[in-house]
Amino acid sequence: MIQLTNIEKYYASKGVKNYVLRLVTTTINQGEFVSVMGPSGAGKSTLLNIIGMLEEPTYGNYHFMGEDVTSLNERKRIELYRNHIGFVFQAYHLIDEMTVYENIEAPLLYKKVGSAERASRIADLLDRFNIVAKKDLFPNQLSGGQQQLVGIARALAAQPSIILADEPTGNLQSAQAEEIMSLFKKLNEEEGITIIQVTHSEKNAQYGNRILHIADGLIKEDIKIQA
Amino acid sequence: MFRLNLKIALRNLWKNKVYATINIVGLALGLTAFVLMILYINHEESYDKWSPDLKNVYQIREKHDFFTPDNKEHWNEVSNSRIANLIRTKLPQAVAVTKVDNDWSFGSGYSVKTDNADPVMVNKIKDSDSSFFKVFDYQFVQGSADQALENKNTIVLKEDLALKLFGTTRALGKTIKIIRWRDDKGDLFTVTGIVSEPKTPQSVHFSAIMRTGNKDRDPDEPTNNNYCLMFTKLNKASDTLVLNQTLQKLYVDFRKNLLKGQEEDYEDMQKPKKLPGLKVIPLATVHSNPPYTLSWFEKLKPVMAISAFLLLVSIINFINLATAQSVQRAKEVGVKKVLGSYKSQLTAQFLVESGLQSLISLFLCIVLIEMVLPAFNQQFNVALSFWHNARLLVLIAQLVGLFVFVTLLAGLYPAWVLSNYNPVAVLKGNYENGLRGVVLRNVLVVFQFVISVTFIISIGVMEMQSRFMSSKDLGFERGNLINIKTNYEDNFAERLKKIPGVQYVATTTQVLGNSFNVPEEIKYKGKPIKLNTVTVTMDALPALGVKVLQGRIFSREYKSDTVNTVVLNEAAANLFGKNLIGQTYQKTDWEGKDNIFQVVGIIKNYHNEGFDKAVLPTVYKVTRLGGTSNTNNLLVRFNTAQHKEIISKIEKEWRMLYPNFPIEYNSLDDAFSKVLEENRRFMNMIVLFSLVSVSLSLLGLFALSTFVAKRKTKEIAVRKVLGASNIQIVSLLNKSFLILVVVANLVSWPVAYIIIKKWLEGFAYRIEVPFIPFAAATLISVIIAILTVSIQARKAAVTDPVNALKYE
């Protein structure tokens, strides 16, 4: 599903190349739950952003579902990730001026989903995450865990085949963190959604079935976890 | 999508109430000045456009020096009445030619009597000939254009006047009596038509058109001329360039013919470089091409520039505030991009937001206009209306255009900045591109302050000049003096003199409010001198209270005063030379006879027109020698300040003598305030613009200081942690802005100096450019700038540094 070949990312400053990623080559298949781990500044988030098409690699090839992402124009690329990828952030990044309902609805609007279909999908998600009662509240009226639930619901609304999560539990207390991680596991196992998460926590990494260790822009270890 | 964007836009406006208000109010202010200007321009543009038929109508203009303000040749609206016949007979394209009275500045109207009612003064009853309504296409409510003025002593009324006189517009066949001057016996006129008021204003504005028959013929004596307005309707719209060449030829022949057999022949006439001239101009351009004065467009140009500039400034302020605020919206942009929004969708969203704000501003602007229009109309003596506009559709189209223009101009840049945010950077909490555009913003603030400071300086100087004018020695005593609109008649004058409290009764052709210049050339010791002649009665100079510099003024004790003596004013005496008293000069009259005049006195110049005009070199005479002139001035000087009783006695005398004509008079105090009025109007307008300009620049400064305070949040926090006090922080922020304001002041001093010097040069009597307004403007601008910046600076200074630093 995702094929990275010799991905490099560097920033040139004063003639010196500062590498963030070097020669990253890996394949991630449909249905995997991958945790990317490593120290601060190792390039985890950059890798995730490249997979999510928010950043472009300086060098290398990236094939997503058989398409060469690096050769696509901006519009095509947006189309591709809007249809297949859901993002979840550490700081939730809900839009403050929108209600819970509207936040979940937003990606569907960009995807031009019909209004009846929109309503039923949102109702379904609200129901599944037990936040029906909160649908008219604004993000700042919710707890962190609840906000992240909305964040995940928003990511799922577009029915993506893959979810990219950048430290999804970094701002949460452990009980809430566990709840979110179980949710990811459930989504992965029951609905076959591919999940790639960046995490610092060994415990969270154990929810998945594969761990990529990154340091200084290189993949140091690629471990499969047996359930 | 659109609905959601609109919803978010509204929520955002609500969340940032203060900024939104500043944005909207600022824009509304700029728009108001601009839309007022549009209204005014529309009004001026709409002159003489009430019927498509008017495209073929042309005004005839002749080049001559009769009754021109400076006694020099100009293209005039009033032309020799004989030209009408010339065009009628010699120009085949002319379908119809009509002559009509001009608006003379003296005499406010005619007295009109219907049956047994009291006489009423009606303005703008104009004498014309049978062709008037064949040239001008008016809508007849009653009667018809073809027959209305077919006979003499007929009159066509506008609906308004018909209602005023008869209470109905069904007045066909009724008769009215028109008394044109005080002891006119009056003529009876039959109403033969009622026309409705056209939708647009008219250059030839009338309340009624009558046909006395005077306009049907020309004077018999070739040297006697009647001057009046003339219009012709051609069979098709024509090229005036070709037409005017034909006319010029016709005219030269006509002049030669007319003067044939006269002592002064055509060649002589050309000697003092006087070129004859005749031309026509399309009616549509008449209003925009007034003779001797600047057209409304020329007059308005600086004001238009200012109002366009104010609008631009308000838009740029809007942009400034929007981009300064954009940091808050960065996250939203980032998230939306991650969710799969195209850049164009985001741009559209932000355009919707600025569109919403400019729409609200536009509504606010309309409300403001509704509020200020009455005052505006009164100030500028116009009748503008927003809703009852003759061309409301055009106006609405203009406003829609303005809305789109403002929205795009104000919205595109912020939308572009916002939609260009890189989502990865933004979502990491790192949006440090605030430095962009700071230079531009600084330049803009300086620019705004240059304008504001220049305005403030101008107001100061104008105030000082108007004080100078209102307290200037006029050269005569304006108190206790009234001017009755009538000529001097012994019977009436004698009756007035008997009223206790009346000191002098006299007439002159030169007095503040109604001056009539009769140019003449005299010879003094062989040297030709051009003078302005004023005919006075014996008491006129003492009645005015002029100051005698040398010799004496007229008195009954001297028999010679009714024979050949004259008094000069200072300006005239300066042209003659020294030791004038007792000297004589000659003047050749039109019959070629030499008359000798003796100078008996010199008086101080006294003002008889606005301060923009220098007092003309003038000779005053009582004698009829060399011809006299006469205008409707009857000066009555009181020796007490208790006017009311005396005036009611004067009115009583008047009613007894002239029952058919209402009395009209004004005090010289009023005439004086009228002279100052135009200047006061101009000043009020400048004050208005300054208010808008100053508030806009304060808004701009506020925006910039907000922006800078935000950008420096971290710096301020670090400084506070390091131990800076609140005052130190406030002054830190103030310092950078003070530099801008000081720079603006340095720029505006020379600019203001040049403008003000030029303005003052428009006055023949003026102050030197004073220093105080410059210093005051600088002080004021610095103080208000500090106050404005401190609002933001204080806010930034008192915030808890921990909050600011936590982000990093």
Instruction: For B703-762, write each residue's pLDDT tens digit.
Output: 778 777 777 777 787 777 777 788 888 888 888 888 989 999 999 999 999 999 988 988
CA-CA distance, B694 to B700, in Å (whole number)?
A: 10
Helix pair angle (B726-761, B713-721), 10° resolution: 130
**A44 vs chain B: nearest CA distance in angstroms?**
13
Instruction: Please say if the pLDDT value at position B808 is more than 50.
Output: no
Residue B334: closest C-alpha in chain A: A93
pLDDT of residue B69: 67
**B293 vs chain A: nearest CA distance in angstroms?**
59
**B426 vs chain A: nearest CA distance in angstroms?**
11
Q: DSSP alpha helices (H): ranges in chain A?
A: 44-51, 74-84, 100-110, 115-128, 144-157, 174-191, 202-205
CA-CA distance, B534 to B568, in Å (whole number)?
A: 10
Report the candidate in B738, B727, B717 with the shortest Cα–Cα distance to residue B802.
B717
**A54 vs chain B: nearest CA distance in angstroms?**
7
Report the candidate in B255, B254, B215, B203 with the shortest Cα–Cα distance to residue B58.
B203
CA-CA distance, B414 to B427, in Å (whole number)?
A: 19
Q: Which residues of B touch A111 (CB under 8 A)?
A: 340
Cα dist. B286→A104, A179, B45, B196, B389 in Å?
Answer: 66, 84, 11, 22, 22
Q: Which residues of A touch B1 (CB under 8 A)?
A: 109
> Quick check: A110 and B424 CB within 8 A?
no
Report the candidate in B571, B542, B555, B549 with the shortest Cα–Cα distance to residue B477.
B542
Highest mean pLDDT among A144-158, B63-77, B729-743: A144-158
Instruction: Please say if the pLDDT value at position A28 is more than 50.
Output: yes
Indicate the residue of A45, A78, A94 with minimum beta-carbon distance to B340.
A78
pLDDT of residue B807: 46
CATH 3.40.50.300 fits A2-224, yes or no: yes
Q: Which residues of B touch A94 (CB under 8 A)?
A: 335
Instruction: Please say if the pLDDT value at position B71 is more than 70.
Output: no
pLDDT of residue B194: 92
Give the pLDDT confidence of A126-144 residue by residue, as tens digits.
Answer: 998 889 999 999 998 999 8
For residue B195, name the pLDDT band (cuts at 50, 70, 90): very high
The residues, ordered by sequence, that sit 6+ positions from B82 with a Cβ below 8 Å of its Cβ are: B218, B225, B254, B258
For residue B264, name the pLDDT band (cuts at 50, 70, 90): low
The answer to whether the CB of B531 falls within 8 A of the CB of B599 is no
CA-CA distance, A70 to A55, in Å (whole number)?
A: 10
Give the pLDDT confidence of B482-519 residue by residue, as tens digits.
Answer: 998 888 888 888 888 999 889 999 998 888 888 877 88
Identify the bridge partners of residue A62 per DSSP, sorted by sequence position: A4
pLDDT of residue B437: 62
More confident residue, B716 or B552: B552
> Quick check: B424 and A49 CB within 8 A?
yes
Lowest average pLDDT, out of A127-131, A140-144, B207-211, B250-254, goes to B250-254
* Count of beta carbons in the 10 Å neighbourhood of residue B136: 27
More confident residue, B107 or A144: A144
Query: At CB < 8 Å, which residues of chain A contact B?
Result: 45, 49, 52, 54-55, 74-75, 78-79, 81-83, 87, 89, 91, 93-98, 102, 105-107, 109-111, 154, 158
Mean pLDDT along residues B424-436: 63
pLDDT of residue B382: 76
| For chain B, percent of residues with pLDDT exceeding 90 | 15
pLDDT of residue B8: 80
Q: Which residues of A touch B15 (CB under 8 A)?
A: 97
For residue B432, name the pLDDT band (cuts at 50, 70, 90): low
Instruction: Please say if the pLDDT value at position B554 is more than 50.
Output: yes
Mean pLDDT along residues B672-694: 83
More confident residue, B793 or A224: A224
DSSP string across B516-582: --EEEEEEETTEEEEEEEEEB-TTHHHHHTPPEEEE----TT-GGGGTTEEEEEHHHHHHH-S--TT
Instruction: Please say if the pLDDT value at position B805 is more than 70.
Output: no
Q: What is the CA radius of gyration of chain A?
A: 18
Cα dist. A59→A51, A52, A75, B446 in Å?
Answer: 14, 16, 21, 47
**C-alpha of B522 from chain center:** 37
Give the pLDDT confidence of A80-96 residue by residue, as tens digits.
Answer: 888 899 999 888 888 88
Mean pLDDT along residues B221-225: 75
Q: Which residues of B touch A74 (CB under 8 A)?
A: 343
Cα dist. B225→B77, B117, B435 in Å?
Answer: 15, 37, 75
Mean pLDDT along residues B51-78: 81
The answer to whether the CB of A197 falls within 8 A of the CB of A165 is yes
CA-CA distance, B331 to B325, in Å (whole number)?
A: 12
pLDDT of residue B156: 92
Indicate the residue of A45, A81, A97 with minimum beta-carbon distance to B8.
A97
The answer to whether the CB of A9 falls within 8 A of the CB of A72 is no
> Quick check: B1 and A87 CB within 8 A?
no
Indicate the residue of B334, B340, B424 with minimum beta-carbon distance to A82.
B340
The answer to whether the CB of B409 falls within 8 A of the CB of B313 is no
CA-CA distance, B647 to A200, in Å (whole number)?
A: 102
Helix (H, G, I), strand (E, B) or coil at B64: strand
Return mean pLDDT, chain A.
Answer: 90
> Quick check: B336 and A106 CB within 8 A?
yes
**Residue B210 identity:** M
Q: What are phi and psi of B530, to 5 degrees?
A: -95, 130
Give ∠ CA B201-B206-B211 in degrees, rounded to 5. Answer: 145
Determine contact: B335 vs chain A, CB below 8 A.
yes
Residue located via tokens 């394209």: B93
- CA end-to-end span of chain A: 22
The answer to whether the CB of B565 falls within 8 A of the CB of B532 is no
Residue located via tokens 């040139």: A12
The predicted complex's ipTM stands at: 0.84
pLDDT of residue B429: 61
Residue located via tokens 């042309």: B58
Mean pLDDT along residues B152-166: 90
> Quick check: A106 and B15 CB within 8 A?
no
pLDDT of residue B244: 87
Instruction: Please say if the pLDDT value at position B105 is more than 70.
Output: no
CA-CA distance, B785 to B735, in Å (whole number)?
A: 11
Give the pLDDT confidence of B563-576 residue by residue, as tens digits.
Answer: 889 999 999 999 88
The answer to whether the CB of A77 falls within 8 A of the CB of A53 is yes
CA-CA distance, A58 to A11, in Å (whole number)?
A: 9
CA-CA distance, B73 to B272, in Å (whole number)?
A: 11
Instruction: Please say if the pLDDT value at position B275 is more than 70.
Output: no
DSSP 8-state symbol, B128: B
Residue A164: closest C-alpha in chain B: B338
Across chain A, which distance is largest between two alpha carbons, in Å?
Answer: 56
| For chain B, percent of residues with pLDDT exceeding 70 | 94
Helix (H, G, I), strand (E, B) or coil at A11: strand
Instruction: Please say if the pLDDT value at position B765 is more than 50.
Output: yes
pLDDT of residue B263: 52
pLDDT of residue B778: 92
pLDDT of residue B200: 85
The answer to whether the CB of B136 falls within 8 A of the CB of B57 is yes
**C-alpha of B737 from chain center:** 39
Residue B200: exposed, middle, or buried by beta-carbon count in 10 A (0-12, 13-18, 19+)?
A: middle
Q: For an interface test with B, which of A21, A109, A140 has the most B Cβ atoms less than 10 Å from its Cβ?
A: A109
CB pairs below 8 Å between A and B: how many? 63
Chain B from 428 to 487: CB within 8 A of any A CB: 428-429
Highest mean pLDDT among B239-243, B524-528, B598-602, B793-797: B598-602
For residue B261, name the pLDDT band (cuts at 50, 70, 90): low
Mean pLDDT along residues B340-369: 89
User: Residues, chain B, total?
Assistant: 808
pLDDT of residue A27: 93
Cα dist. B197→B147, B235, B378, B388, B705 in Å?
Answer: 19, 25, 22, 14, 55
Return mean pLDDT, chain B.
Answer: 84
CA-CA distance, B128 to B209, in Å (whole number)?
A: 6
User: Residues, chain A, total?
Assistant: 227
> Quick check: B340 and A107 CB within 8 A?
yes
> Quick check: B345 and A110 CB within 8 A?
yes
pLDDT of residue B387: 76
Cα dist. B675→B62, B537, B761, B794 in Å?
Answer: 29, 25, 17, 50
Determine contact: B6 vs chain A, CB below 8 A.
no
More confident residue, B542 or B269: B542
Instruction: Please say if the pLDDT value at position B74 is more than 50.
Output: yes
Instruction: Please say if the pLDDT value at position B271 is more than 60.
Output: no
Determine contact: B1 vs chain A, CB below 8 A.
yes
Highest mean pLDDT among B71-75, B134-138, B427-431: B134-138
Indicate the residue of A75, A95, A105 with minimum beta-carbon distance to B342.
A75
pLDDT of residue B269: 55
